Structure 1
Amino acid sequence: MALEKQLKWEGKASAELKVTRTCHGVEGTPGVAGCVWFYAGFKTPVDPKSDQNQDQEKANRTKQKLLSIDPAEMTYSYSIIDGNVGFNSYLSTVQMVPKDAECTIVWKYEVEPVEG
């Protein structure tokens, strides 16, 4: 009995994300702890209790500072140092966790919201 040649398995996966954000460096070297970048773009509704048009939206904007980056552990941490998103302090760590042929992104944060 002759052995039949096995066909190769091939595959591809992708996801499309709609990018509606502005991002640019403000100071420091990109990718190096201490650098600061500016984000803006996604919108949230304006306070519905205000007398302004309730359908109006405002663009969220933040300045974020890279606190650490560890390529071996696939993590980085950053803080929001300025912005209009309603936080007195914000600290976040993002990690990519590979498992077999997949990858999970773990996002941890600590936030102190402003009053009101």
Structure 2
Amino acid sequence: MEKPPNAAPKWEGKATAKLLRPTASAVWPLVADFFSLHKFLPTIDTCVKVDGAAEDGLVRHCAASGDERWCRERLTGIDPAGRRLSYEVVDSNMGFKRYESTVRVVAAMDGGDGGGCEIEWSFVADPVEGLSCEDLAKYVAVGLKGMARNMERELEAEFN
């Protein structure tokens, strides 16, 4: 299918972070808790439920203290068997018109769940004024690496 002649380009990106010891089964509950993002993502200080009662349709408010950035994100899908969570930005003061994201936890490449996993964070967005797609992809990649480190620490603390 051809793009309409005046269609704005979409930004797409994906970042991955490896966790060496925690299994995908151990990491998934941390990712699946839609309201715990502030516990792991270094750039977020607040993540609270603001709306919704069913899994699809839950809305969270995320904010970074100090610089007054915030967004509201709606859970659009969760697949525990596939260890996949999807959400979209519904409102923000960061210039997003459309931003959709999927976070997925993948077991170690040996096919088992004996140790190690990867978190994949992919996005599709409309262009954001004042940013480039590369800027957004770098922000996601850096945030994900910090999130993976924090999850490893959390899970190590539970086992020690």
Q: TM-score range, shorter-chain basis?
A: 0.5 to 0.7
Give the number of the structure with larger relative contact order, counting CA–CA contacts within 8 Å between residues 6 or more apart.
Answer: 2
Amino acid at match of 2:73: Q
What is the Cα deviation at residue 59 of structure 1? 2.2
Q: What count of residue pairs does the alignment treat as equivalent?
A: 88
Aligned match for 2:46, one of 22, 25, 46: 22
Equivalent residues in 2 for 1:1-116, closer than 5 Å:
21-29=45-53, 32-41=55-64, 58-99=67-108, 100-116=114-130
Q: Report the aligned-residue RMSD.
A: 2.5
Distance (whole Å) between structure 2 residues aligned to residue 59 and residue 66 of structure 1: 23
Amino acid at match of 1:94: V
The 1:110–1:60 alpha-carbon spacing in structure 2 relative to 1, beyond 3 Å, is: same
SS in 2 for 1:113: coil
More strand by share: 1
- TM-score normalised over the length of structure 2: 0.49
SS in 2 for 1:107: strand
What is the Cα deviation at residue 18 of structure 1? 7.7
What is the Cα deviation at residue 111 of structure 1? 1.0
- TM-score normalised over the length of structure 1: 0.65
Pair member with larger Rg: 1
Distance (whole Å) between structure 1 residues aligned to residue 125 and residue 117 of structure 2: 26
| Percent pairwise identity | 34
Distance (whole Å) between structure 1 residues aligned to residue 92 and residue 103 of structure 2: 20
The 1:71–1:61 alpha-carbon spacing in structure 2 relative to 1, beyond 3 Å, is: same
What is the Cα deviation at residue 107 of structure 1? 0.4
CA deviations 1:34-89 (Å, max 9, x no partner) are 1101000166xxxxxxxxxxxxxx22100000000000000010000000122110
CA deviations 1:13-40 (Å, max 9, x no partner) are 68xx58551111011137x111101000
Stretch deviating more after TM superposition (95-104 or 60-69): 95-104
